[in-house]
Structure 1
Amino acid sequence: MEDFHWTQLFNPEFYITMEIGGVPIGIYMVLFIVFAETGLFAGFFLPGDSLLFLAGIYSRELVETFFIIPSDLSNVTVLALLIAAAGILGNIFGYWFGAKSGQFLYNKKDSFFFKKKYLTESQVFFERHGGKAIIFARFLPIVRTFVPIIAGVVHMQKGKFMLYNILSSLLWSFTLVFAGHYLYGMFLEELGIDLKKHIEKIILILIAITTFPLVMKAIKSRKKNESGNAT
């Protein structure tokens, strides 16, 4: 921590390898960040996808903070489940906060930790995709922070919210954690490429893949509206 610079706050590896007095606390930081980014509106600037992908690479070191698991598959699975649980709890808190805060957020002034435009954009996204927005939002930075809050504001049915919440958390965590773990091993052994040095590029590609269907749907919807207005 002696060489700490504020820019490290945006580097997922900084949290994963963090120690206090020689004691590793990476797993606690990962779980807290997942909770904060999916449940606290102030957590939108924290690393999400890149953190999970890199956590998959460091899965053994992270899980061994709690217990040693000889099986590689079991090790990665336990990590993915822990992260999914943190994501579920984060969304529950976000939903509760949205339900209790009501219109307060819409009247709140912008600050470093809060941007009203993110809230508005997330509401449009939620209204367009309904309950499935919770699943799509998991793979979209910033949007995943505000969508559960919006769900609470509009008082989405709790049972329906929990179903999408659990499904999205499991899908998000298992996809990125497993991808990070097994792609790292494959690229390092087969091609001699260290994915740790290309983490941000990989995450940008993942975001592009997950948002492509949404972009295409938005384009089609816009063309449909334009043709409707023309007639």
Structure 2
Amino acid sequence: MSLHPDLNGRVALVTGASRGIGKAIALTLAEAGAAVAVNYHSRAAEARRVVEAIGTGGRRAIACAADVSDSGAVAAMVRQIEVELGAVDVLVNNAGIGIARGLDDLSEADFDRTIAVNLKSAFLCTQAVLPGMRARRWGRIVNITSGAARGSGIVGVHYNASKAGMEGLTRGYSTRVVKDGITVNAVAPSLIETDMIGGHREERAARVPLGRLGTPEEVAQATLMVIGNAYMTGQTIQVNGGMHFI
């Protein structure tokens, strides 16, 4: 058994892949051989640059504009991918927002939008690709959650709830599709060097036992690892520099 996943002939969809962790995952899956659908919401130019980088490496890629919290947009996106690249074999639910709010500032609209983008989107995209995966009896689904799913976090309770929900979704799907040859796992990064981390980087890095923030590429490496392991399902892999052990 090869320790390096071979994704030649596979098609991957990475949501929220125009920058940060999603971009790193898209590039890593392409390096492993996959054709990649780079989903984005509003950053078209950045998504195109990811597609160009993948093409430079000799792999196929397309940019797919879609609000993944909208069922109609998700359905249209999956149809586009099937026409231009083929059926989706690997789904990485990475799209997410982090609206920083304190308890006294958190609005119902903030809560609803966070749940829709971070959690509902994972449900919609999973439901859209599952029939094909089940028919082919092979699929890999990875949900990018957060250490905030099991800790207090720095964004707010709405973010905690959305990421904890993703972990519940991961476990629920995993038991129901494992006999169809599909694994469903989660990767939970904490304090990664992306735009979402905001300011106070040195202060936040000091909270990490390793002494630095993580990189998007380290999250992508963990994602590729769970995609390559056919025996692992329903698990959450922590990528946090030793911040906590759960």
Q: Per the shorter chain, which TM-score range?
A: 0.3 to 0.5
> Which gives a bigger RCO, structure 1 or 2 (Cα 8 Å, sep 6+)?
1
Greater helix share, structure number: 1
Structure with higher Rg: it is 1
Normalized per residue, the structure richer in strand is: 2
- TM (norm. structure 2) is 0.31
